[in-house]
Amino acid sequence: MAGSTPRLARDAFGTLPDGRAVERVVLRGAEGFEARIITFGAALQALIAPDAGGRCDDVVLGYDDLAGYLAERRMFGATVGRYANRIADARFALDGEIVQLTANNGPNALHGGPEGFDRRLWQIVDVDDGAEPAVTLAYTSADGEEGYPGRLDARLTWRLTGPTELSLEFTARTDRPTVVNLTHHSFFNLDGATAGHDILDHRLTVAATRFVAIDASAIPLPGPPRAVAGTPFDFQQASLIGARIRNDDAQLRHGRGYDHTFCLDSGGAPTFAARLEAPRSGRVLELLTDQPGLQVYSGNYLDGSIRGKAGRLYRQSDAICLEPQIWPNAPNRPDFPSPRLAPGDVYRHVTVYRFSKSERHALPG
């Protein structure tokens, strides 16, 4: 229709020190809903969603400009790879050979190493400005990058699959056996990234009866996952995030709060994994995924040293991450879901972020 707002827009978002340009793509839905993706780290730089009264706010933490993303690695809205979460001692055996990775979390490898996918410039390879606007980005990880074997060709498509619904789809292919575990790492605050409220009053539901217990270095303990029943990790029914986060519990001490993988029943298609509800704004986020785990991280290491959007200092529990993924340290745990990818096979990961409005809210006057 003549005069209507374009569903997709592209603009510049800065320049890397080596002169390469960083672009931003904006996908527009209904009621002011927008997803803004930058090519540095294939990151979700902003996600604008309406509240129960129709007011739109950005609901993910991050930075207003490229300089913030370059200055410090905080994973805001980032694409994480080649392996999300931790691999113990930065090494694993693959087809009888020991693979040595670059350690960056004490002796362990975390989020793909010191220069993971979140620190790379991705390329826009396709855009779709139709009824479901979308952008596809690509990155090729060289054989041996951060120690990982095999050239990996990764693609990520961000698409608006509903008026206020954002979907992502990862695919990856390799020329040698390797391990792959990609995820998205947005820090959500459904009251707004600059609202000044923490997320301890958000209500969380997680469709999991088990979680992966960790040691003090956040590596999974030996043995099977633990039952959530009777623990602070039971979110089978909607519960306030802050209700039990300061309980005297060894697992909460190890994570400094919630920083654990919840075990999902994935059946090959995206199914309901979690629901997050903010009583102040009335915003609701439902997450569906086809991955076997959901890392729930309550922003425990945000310490007030980070100056984010609108100059806000991000502090502990200012946001929560809900990261669909394979379980941590799975390359060393044959009893965990396998992250192995062979030549000729395709790694796939689909996650849906579905926003709505709650009838149970108390918007400020």
pLDDT digits (tens, 9 = 90+) for 272-296: 999 999 999 999 999 999 999 999 9
* Domain definitions of the chain by residue range: 8-357
What is d(CA 90, CA 86) in angstroms, rounded to the nearest whole number?
A: 8
**Quick one: DSSP state of residue 43?**
E
**Band of the pLDDT at 134, cuts 50, 70, 90?**
very high
**Band of the pLDDT at 360, cuts 50, 70, 90?**
low
**Band of the pLDDT at 5, cuts 50, 70, 90?**
confident
Can you read off the two tokens belonging to residue 236?
């089978």
Q: What is the pLDDT of residue 362?
A: 52
**Band of the pLDDT at 266, cuts 50, 70, 90?**
confident
CATH number of 8-357: 2.70.98.10
- CA-nearest of 214, 209, 207 to 322 is 207
Residues paired with residue 229 on neighbouring β-strands, in sequence order: none
Helix, strand, or coil here: 255? helix
Helix, strand, or coil here: 342? coil
- pTM here? 0.96
Q: What is the pLDDT of residue 359?
A: 72
pLDDT digits (tens, 9 = 90+) for 335-354: 999 999 999 999 999 999 99
| CB neighbour list of residue 280: distance below 8 Å, 6 or more residues apart | 191, 195, 197, 201, 361, 362, 363, 364
Q: What is the pLDDT of residue 361?
A: 53
Mean pLDDT over 145-155 rounds to 98
Active site residues: 185, 323
Q: What is the pLDDT of residue 297?
A: 98
Q: What is the pLDDT of residue 30?
A: 96
pLDDT digits (tens, 9 = 90+) for 303-334: 999 999 999 999 999 999 999 999 999 999 99
What is d(CA 99, CA 184) in angstroms, rounded to the nearest whole number?
A: 25
pLDDT digits (tens, 9 = 90+) for 170-203: 999 999 999 999 999 999 999 999 999 999 999 9
